[in-house]
Amino acid sequence: MNISVKILIFMVVGAIVGTIFQQFGGYQCIDELSKEACKAFQSENWIYTYIIDGLFNVGGAWFINALKMLMVPLVLVSLVVGVCSLTDPSKLGRLSLKTVGLYLLTTAIALILALLMASIFQPGNGMPVGDANFVPKEKPPLTDVLINMIPTNPFSAMAQANMLQIIVFAIILGLAISFSGDKGKTIKDWFESANHVVMGIVNLVMKFAPYGVFFLIAKTFATFPFADLVGGLGKYFILVIVVLILHALLTYGSLIALLARLNPVNFFKGMWPAMLTAFGTSSSNATLPVTMRCVEKNLGVHKNTYSFTLPLGATVNMDGTAIMQGIATLFIAQAYNADLTMAQMLTIILTATLASIGAAGVPSVGLILLAGVLTQVNLPVEAIGMILGIDRLLDMTRTAVNITGDAAVTTIVAKSEGEIELDTYNDPVIHSNFEEEET
């Protein structure tokens, strides 16, 4: 069976199983009992202990850990190999400009769409403000992010999985290897061989993707507070989901059709396994191995483009997160009866676009970024507490949009550079044959 269909089936079954288990040992205690009593309830409840917190939790965490384990070696070796195989190193500069330009453009479009829809549908009107409290973690200032892009110690960059630093180091290493010509050939061959081996591990981990996604979704649905949705947050929740879907279909679809002159349907078909994995893991970084795989195997993009654009995108490009920030900011402003001026709206677009640079694509990071945006427009940061409870499912959906945005820009840039196999992109047979062997 083709892998996309398999992941989808396991995901739906996971959602059903999780919802059933919620009735026995999941969420209801959070709502009705205090935290202490809830813990006591859960520790006595064997379904919670052995199934929700046991089986589902461990199975899902194994899958996420396996993906994360691949992240550093995969980004390092594929980027080094990608840069080494660039015939013209000046291409790298052009590639960076196009990529970063398109990343910023798509994020700005996402925010404008979000602000427009939130102004029309007013999800926060009449919301009781309540005693929301949320204390955000500190986010480093942009200057620090820029300074720290160059690692002082590449090994510690890898040990800490600092994506921007690894990207910079890998590009420098790749350039140095290709400038060394014949003398550097041994190292070049070593990286090429390592790349095949790492891809072998990706293939292996991908075989477990349906089960991993099943466990992750089952755990989420067993603990997700659907009851909160009825209490006024439903409108916010639905609006975020609708705008995320609109942005993915309309913005990416039309950019791919207009700028790359490619059929957008093939794009979405090819990206489906990565979107489902992003939905399951809530982490663009963890999904990276699968995103790379889809872009190469299903869309036919060459390694020397995607090995640079995708890891960069997982860190600096988060359109889905930007959409949540735009809608959440207006939602909170409306709940607090604060009218935002045009200048404040522009501030939201600017801060939210820049905020995502340097924030790693990991679960819930969007909420930390949101704190920064709220501060800029003088709204109370504690108000994030209002939307915290239902953020999990939104996080999953926006992560799927985040990685789709990275892949859309990658496809457009690759097409403009002639770095895409059109036969692969246009051939639907390959799309359903995801597990095809590495050649």
Contact residues for ligand ASP (CB under 6 A)?
282-284, 318, 321, 361-366, 395, 398-399, 402
| Shorter beta-carbon distance to ligand ASP: residue 53 or 395 | 395
In angstroms, the CA 308 to CA 80 distance is 9
In angstroms, the CA 408 to CA 253 distance is 8
Q: Is residue 352 within 8 Å of residue 110, measured between CB atoms?
A: no
| Minimum separation from the CB atom of position 365 to ligand ASP (A) | 4
SS3 content of the chain, % helix, strand, coil (to 5): 80, 0, 20
| Shorter beta-carbon distance to ligand ASP: residue 104 or 187 | 104
Burial 179-209 (b: 16+ CB within 10 A, else e): eeeeeeeeebeebeebbeebbeebeebbeeb
| Shorter beta-carbon distance to ligand ASP: residue 358 or 363 | 363
Nearest to 232 by CA among 372, 375, 348, 132: 132
| Shorter beta-carbon distance to ligand ASP: residue 299 or 365 | 365
In angstroms, the CA 163 to CA 147 distance is 14
Phi, psi of 192, rounded to the nearest 5 degrees:
-65, -40
| Shorter beta-carbon distance to ligand ASP: residue 29 or 323 | 323
Task: State whether the Cα torsion 395-141-247-8 is positive or negative.
Answer: negative
| Minimum separation from the CB atom of position 163 to ligand ASP (A) | 11
In angstroms, the CA 25 to CA 116 distance is 40
| Minimum separation from the CB atom of position 321 to ligand ASP (A) | 3
Lookup result for tokens 């930390």: 368
Lookup result for tokens 């940061």: 381
| Minimum separation from the CB atom of position 282 to ligand ASP (A) | 5
Residue nearest to ligand ASP (CB): 366
| Minimum separation from the CB atom of position 318 to ligand ASP (A) | 5
| Shorter beta-carbon distance to ligand ASP: residue 91 or 392 | 392
| Minimum separation from the CB atom of position 373 to ligand ASP (A) | 12
| Shorter beta-carbon distance to ligand ASP: residue 223 or 287 | 287
CA torsion 49-53-54-56 (nearest 10°) is: 140
- Enumerate the H helices of 26-151 as residue ranges: 28-32, 35-44, 46, 57-84, 91-121, 142-147
| Minimum separation from the CB atom of position 128 to ligand ASP (A) | 26
Mind giving me the DSSP string for 292-303?
HHHHHHTT-B-H
| Minimum separation from the CB atom of position 356 to ligand ASP (A) | 8
| Minimum separation from the CB atom of position 400 to ligand ASP (A) | 9
| Shorter beta-carbon distance to ligand ASP: residue 75 or 318 | 318
Contacts of residues 425-433 at CB distance under 8 Å and 24 or more positions apart, as own/partner, are: 425/262, 425/266, 425/270, 425/299, 425/300, 426/263, 426/266, 428/266, 428/269, 430/297, 430/298, 430/300, 431/266, 431/269, 431/270, 431/298, 432/2, 432/4, 433/2
| Minimum separation from the CB atom of position 422 to ligand ASP (A) | 29
| Minimum separation from the CB atom of position 291 to ligand ASP (A) | 11
| Shorter beta-carbon distance to ligand ASP: residue 232 or 320 | 320
- The token pair at 289 is 């191995």
| Shorter beta-carbon distance to ligand ASP: residue 81 or 295 | 295
| Shorter beta-carbon distance to ligand ASP: residue 232 or 366 | 366
